[in-house]
Amino acid sequence: MKTNKEIMDLAEQALIHTYNRFPVVLDHGKGVYLYDVEGKEYLDFAAGIAVNAFGYDVPEYKQALKDQIDKVIHVSNLYYTEPLAKAANKLAKATGLRKVFFTNSGTEAIEGAIKLARKYAWNRDNGSTDHEIIAMNNSFHGRSIGALSVTGNPHYQEAFKPLIDKVVFADFNNIEDVRSKITDKTCAIIFETIQGEGGIYPVEADFIKEVRRICDEKDILLILDEIQCGMGRSGKMFAYEHFGVKPDIVTVAKALGCGVPIGAFVAGDKVCDSMTAGDHGSTYGGNPLATAAANAVFDLFEKKHILENVNETGSYLGEVLDRFAAKYDFITEARGMGLIRGLEFSVPVGPIVNRCIEEGLLLISAGTNVIRFVPPLVITKENVDEMAQKLDRVLSEV
């Protein structure tokens, strides 16, 4: 058996260094705990970045994957499969929209959403190609060139220019700024219903409702990125349900497959037939293994009453984080919804997160000064108490 250190050295020899990984080599998981190769236990409040909704070693989920592996893993989109047909219908129903395109990741879902919006406007405007997209400052939509082009973070974009053209940025939750950026050429407005990587900023009700109204008035498409905040994490299946608003296109990924890579963009009535045969494709997208995973995920959401737990345990987590904000004067704010929450610090959180890992608690940051809490959606109040104990021990040393 190799040690953490031996495996880390082996990995760094051959991996392009785009991540500063934590010095932990994870080996297996059980419930809401992960274990490294030396047997150390970690309480998981990161969930593989908001992916592992049910935690680890879930019998029904594993069995669904094994059953599909025994049948067939991949056939391509030249053919139909039953898991694909079922997953599309389940996702359309869950989003309240009409039709689905499956991708392999979040960033590809964003690419597809951008293409669909442009195609809609191209059809409408007799083939004109000068349409603009409004995106938000401080947003995150992924790392491929299209998704990066709508990501409002100059640091991520700088070295990779030129990006796609005709994207303008407005301040999130600032309706006057959005209004001032709209032109006759605006074809879409895109934002995360809850900004994730940018530091856990939920959309304000007045803002999202007014954007929806403007979009309807001017025939602009509203694209909501629910890759992180969707699939139950906010306490509703999709966060826009809190506001009585529906997007024209929603992007989904992360918890959709709970670890098997799958994403999707889902389109409403107005746009779902704008793309036609040949307009878009993916070799793997929606393959039988990935869609079997998504089907199992939807079934388990009901069977395990996930939304009830997110609401109950999520508000308990909110109270616990409010108490931290009151207790420590270097914590400036606690915010978020359900089981997607952030604690903002007046100091960089990197060293705090590292100390928590030493204490056996996996947390992640969002930006330099926010600790992000995106645990498995099955955590209990006891798990929250255990997290709070460990975090408090670390914070009392700061």
Residues that bind ligand PLP (CB under 6 A): 105-107, 110, 140-142, 192, 196-197, 225, 227-228, 253-254
Nearer Cβ to ligand PLP (116/253):
253
Q: How far is the CB of 362 from ligand PLP (least distance, A)?
A: 17
Q: Return the number of the residue (106 or 235) whose C-beta is nearest ligand PLP.
A: 106
Residue closer to ligand PLP (CB basis): 33 or 191:
191
Q: Are strands 361-362 and 41-44 parallel, antiparallel or unpaired?
A: parallel
Q: Considering the complex, state which of residue 22 and residue 35 has its C-beta at the smaller distance from ligand PLP.
A: 22
**With respect to ligand PLP, which residue has the nearer C-beta, 254 or 390?**
254
Nearer to ligand PLP, 107 or 173 (CB): 107
- Contact between 352 and 327 under an 8 Å Cβ cutoff? The reply is no
Nearer to ligand PLP, 228 or 365 (CB): 228
Least Å from the CB of residue 26 to ligand PLP: 18
Residue nearer to ligand PLP on the CB measure, 117 or 394: 117
Q: Which CB sits closer to ligand PLP, 194 or 395?
A: 194
Nearest to ligand PLP by Cβ — which residue?
106
Q: Smallest distance, Å, CB 3 to ligand PLP?
A: 30
List all residues 6 or more positions away from 56 whose beta carbon is below 8 Å from its beta carbon.
28, 29, 30, 31, 32, 33, 34, 44
For ligand PLP, which is the closer residue by CB, 45 or 140? 140
User: In the bound complex, what is the minimum distance in angstroms from residue 228's beta carbon to ligand PLP?
Assistant: 3
Q: Find the shortest distance in angstroms from Cβ 144 to ligand PLP.
A: 7
- What does each C-alpha distance from 34 to 29, 43, 56, 300, 361 come to in angstroms? 4, 7, 8, 21, 10
Residues 6 or more apart in contact with residue 276 via CB below 8 angstroms: none
Q: Shortest distance, CB of residue 328 to ligand PLP, whole angstroms? A: 27
Name the residue among 368, 358, 367 with its Cα closest to residue 391: 358
Task: Look at residues 397, 265, 391 and name the one whose alpha carbon lies nearest to residue 325.
Answer: 391
Which residues have CB under 8 Å from 366's CB, separation 6+? 196, 197, 198, 199, 200, 342, 372
Q: In the bound complex, what is the minimum distance in angstroms from residue 126's beta carbon to ligand PLP?
A: 32
Location of structure tokens 């939304």: 307
CA distance 340 to 327: 21
Whichever of 105 and 309 has its CB closer to ligand PLP, that residue is 105
Residue 361: both structure tokens together: 């608690």
Rounded to the nearest whole angstrom, what is the least distance from the CB of residue 382 to ligand PLP in the complex?
28
In angstroms, what is the minimal distance from the CB of 44 to ligand PLP? Answer: 17
Shortest distance (Å) from residue 364 CB to ligand PLP: 12
Minimum gap (Å) between residue 215 Cβ and ligand PLP: 20
